[in-house]
Amino acid sequence: MPIEPSNPPLVPYIPSTAPFSVEQRAWLNGYLAGLFSNAHVAEPVEQKKKLSLVVLFGSQTGSAEKLAKRIGADSSKMGFAPKVLEMNAFGSLDWAVEERIILVTSTWGEGDPPDNATAFWAHLNSPDAPRLDKVHFAVLALGDKNYSDFCGAGKKFDTRFEVLGGKRLIPRVDCDTDYEKPALEFISNLWNPLAATSHQGGIISASTSTEPAALEPEGYSKQKPFPARLLVNRKLNREGSGKDTRHFEISLEGSGLTYAAGDALGIYASNCPTLVAHVLEALGFDGEEGVKNPTGMEVSLRSALLSSFQLGNPSMEFVAEVQKRSEDADLKSLLDPANKEKLDKFVYGKDILDFLKSYPGVRFTPSELVTFLRKLQPRLYSISSSPKAHPGQVHITVAVVRYEAHGRERKGVCSTFLAERADGATATIPVFIQPSHGFRLPSDGNIPVIMVGPGTGIAPFRAFLEERRETGAKGKNWLFFGDQKRSHDFLYQEELETMMKNSHLHRLDTAFSRDQAEKIYVQDRMLKQGDALWKWLEEGAHVYVCGDAKRMAKDVDLALHQVIQTAGGKSEEEARNYVAQLKKDKKYQRDVY
């Protein structure tokens, strides 16, 4: 029998007769006591079994993982017993018992689940899929509206859970790149419906649910980037190369920021001033007009277009508004949902300036314009240094994006910002660390590693090699690298050759695609070395792939399956299972973009 305090406290107090579970009551009283911090509430806590809650995440670069952990931490305070797991660890759960499951997933590839969720997705679609009739679930989906299958993976899990009998606690929330606010709202909306599933009864009053605290810790972060100085901007391709890939060294002195090999660096770049000038000219503005930036601060239109809003890849809201204002019949027909594919093709490669020029009669006031623009997002770069080898610094390896489209030269926002506009004496680069828990060296330095990283995919492997050198790891290192021409595009050639000479890098297989008539790619080298690769795999090697997601990573994945079949003597299905097991054991990790 719970005991009521002998002297009624001077603060609002939830008595044991109120319709809450013991844990909820204890938490609420603690919360109220906190609000009236000079008062004392002697609320005894009755020991009862806590309600179990499973939080499953699918995450490639750590955002969904961070949110899942936040749900776990908050749920503990609410009296639940949370288990936070990546989706592929589904085998460690007792599916006959679990009743409350929250799924948090991002979307990768083209509407696909992230790597650490693919096995779970396959399982849910297999004959072994569990019935979920007892399960109450909710889905928080992360994505990016720049991709046509927005939050595709979250949508798939949401539908599948329902088909398997699950009961939705609250509607799925699909978050665009600015996920913090909707994600926190989703989290605070969970507690009442979750509490209502308790057999102990009790519903937490909405007015007393946790006030969502900021997601980010103290110090420099994605929300508060560190203004870093650029130390080195060096071209890695030789004169005459068709590519411009740069090595950047950035100072983290004074930031307090730390990172591990495998993490990414986030960078907030600004748009090219020439493009901004052309947009202002097309609009007929001088740039001094006042507008609100996405944080609600009053700034000049020029400053907002430089630093806060995306000028490439216009939002559908902008395109629809241009149609409304121009009354253009062709654009109207393209905006018909039945013509989505044609619309995507029409918009591909166009920016805001293209639209302003193509529909010159369309007019916006400065304030109207910015409401139709997307917020400029930070870009991520796989870190190419080990902090042990370069204390106080972070290095990245960036392919500078320049191309022509619709008769005009185009520049990638961040890669050209770094290459062309970040060196000034007073210039700084706003940076943050994006930890990537899913892309890590084995903790045992004796384990061999196989790294496949053509082009800028070399970046994290330079970091891995440095890290293993600095820590004295004895395990063997094998790198597959490829690019266009050996004479021009052999990134970090000297460093790699020195590592070979020093027996730190044990094997280096290169594939220079344009040195001969037919293309040779890294996967061709993998197939050629199938027997040795298989031997390394059987010795327990971890396999890492970094670089282009659209083509390379898929082809390399296929080659890995082929090696297991041919050199390992496995059937197609056995090879699939072998790779699935590698993924589950975290022995096959990818950092692809």
Ligand X SMILES: Cc1cc2nc3c(=O)[nH]c(=O)nc-3n(C[C@H](O)[C@H](O)[C@H](O)COP(=O)(O)O)c2cc1C
Ligand Y SMILES: Cc1cc2nc3c(=O)[nH]c(=O)nc-3n(C[C@H](O)[C@H](O)[C@H](O)COP(=O)(O)OP(=O)(O)OC[C@H]3O[C@@H](n4cnc5c(N)ncnc54)[C@H](O)[C@@H]3O)c2cc1C
Q: Which residues bind ligand NAP (CB under 6 A)?
A: 245, 399, 401, 454-457, 482-484, 513-514, 519, 521-523, 547-549, 551-552, 555, 593
When CB distances are held under 5 to 8 angstroms depending on the partner's kind, the choice from ligand X, ligand NAP, ligand Y, none that residue 143 binds is ligand X
* Closest CB to ligand X: residue number: 143
Q: How far is the CB of 337 from ligand Y (least distance, A)?
A: 23
Largest CA distance in the chain: 90
Closest listed residue to residue 34, CA positions, set 6, 11, 57, 7: 11
Q: Does 120 bind ligand X (CB under 6 A)?
A: no
Q: How far is the CB of 463 from ligand NAP (least distance, A)?
A: 16
In the range 56-75, which residues lie near ligand X by CB under 6 A?
Answer: 59-64
Size of the site for ligand Y (CB under 6 A): 22
In the range 45-64, which residues lie near ligand Y by CB under 6 A?
Answer: 61
Joined together, the tokens standing for residue 170 give: 């609250």
Tell me the β-bridge partners of 247: 234, 397
Helix/strand number for the chain, H first, E second: 20, 21
Q: Does 413 bind ligand Y (CB under 6 A)?
A: yes
Q: Does 537 bind ligand Y (CB under 6 A)?
A: no
Q: What b/e sequence results for 57-70 when a residue is b if at least 16 CB atoms lie within 10 Å of its CB, and e otherwise?
A: bbbbbbbbbbbbbb
Q: How far is the CB of 524 from ligand NAP (least distance, A)?
A: 8
DSSP letter (8 states) at residue 382: E
When CB distances are held under 5 to 8 angstroms depending on the partner's kind, the choice from ligand X, ligand NAP, ligand Y, none that residue 111 binds is ligand X
Q: Does 114 bind ligand X (CB under 6 A)?
A: yes
Using the minimum distance from each CB to ligand NAP, give the nearer residue, 114 or 455.
455
569/535 Cα distance (integer angstroms): 12
Q: How far is the CB of 119 from ligand Y (least distance, A)?
A: 21
Q: Does 413 bind ligand X (CB under 6 A)?
A: no
Contact 78, 204 (CB under 8 A): yes
Size of the site for ligand X (CB under 6 A): 23
When CB distances are held under 5 to 8 angstroms depending on the partner's kind, the choice from ligand Y, ligand X, ligand NAP, none that residue 150 binds is ligand X
> What are the φ and ψ backbone dihedral angles of 51, each rounded to 5 degrees?
-75, 135
Cα-based torsion angle of the residue sequence 192, 197, 203, 205 in order, rounded to the nearest 10 degrees: 0
Tell me the β-bridge partners of 298: 292
Q: Which residues touch 313 (CB under 8 Å, ≥6 apart)?
A: 146, 347, 351, 374
Q: How far is the CB of 521 from ligand NAP (least distance, A)?
A: 4
Q: Considering only the stretches 103-111, 179-187, 335-343, 400-408, report the one whose residues sit in contact with ligand Y under the rule CB under 6 A.
A: 400-408
Closest listed residue to residue 265, CA positions, set 62, 54, 408, 424: 62
* Closest CB to ligand Y: residue number: 412
The number of residues in the chain equals 593
Q: Does 435 bind ligand Y (CB under 6 A)?
A: no
Closest listed residue to residue 166, CA positions, set 104, 75, 99, 71: 99
When CB distances are held under 5 to 8 angstroms depending on the partner's kind, the choice from ligand Y, ligand NAP, ligand X, none that residue 405 binds is ligand Y
Q: Does 149 bind ligand X (CB under 6 A)?
A: yes
Q: Does 264 bind ligand Y (CB under 6 A)?
A: yes
Using the minimum distance from each CB to ligand X, give the nearer residue, 61 or 510.
61
Q: Does 113 bind ligand X (CB under 6 A)?
A: no
Q: Are strands 51-58 and 80-86 parallel, antiparallel or unpaired?
A: parallel
171/186 Cα distance (integer angstroms): 9
Q: How far is the CB of 384 from ligand Y (least distance, A)?
A: 7
Q: Which of 138, 173, 215, 459 binds ligand Y (CB under 6 A)?
A: 459
Using the minimum distance from each CB to ligand Y, give the nearer residue, 24 or 245.
245
503/474 Cα distance (integer angstroms): 10
Contact 15, 45 (CB under 8 A): no
In the range 115-174, which residues lie near ligand Y by CB under 6 A?
Answer: none
* 226 Ramachandran zone, left/alpha/beta (phi>0; psi -120 to 50): beta
Looking at 537-581, which runs of residues are DSSP E strands?
542-547
When CB distances are held under 5 to 8 angstroms depending on the partner's kind, the choice from ligand NAP, ligand X, ligand Y, none that residue 144 binds is ligand X
Query: CA dist 538 to 201, 269, 449, 548, 590, Å?
Result: 53, 44, 12, 27, 19
Using the minimum distance from each CB to ligand X, give the nearer residue, 149 or 470.
149
Give the per-residue contact string, 354-393, with ligand Y (x = CB under 6 A; - = no).
Answer: -------------------------xxxx-----------
Residues lying near ligand X in the complex (CB under 6 A) are found at 59-64, 106-111, 114, 142-144, 147, 149-152, 549, 593
Residues lying near ligand Y in the complex (CB under 6 A) are found at 61, 264, 312, 349, 379-382, 397-399, 401, 403, 405, 412-415, 456, 459, 591, 593
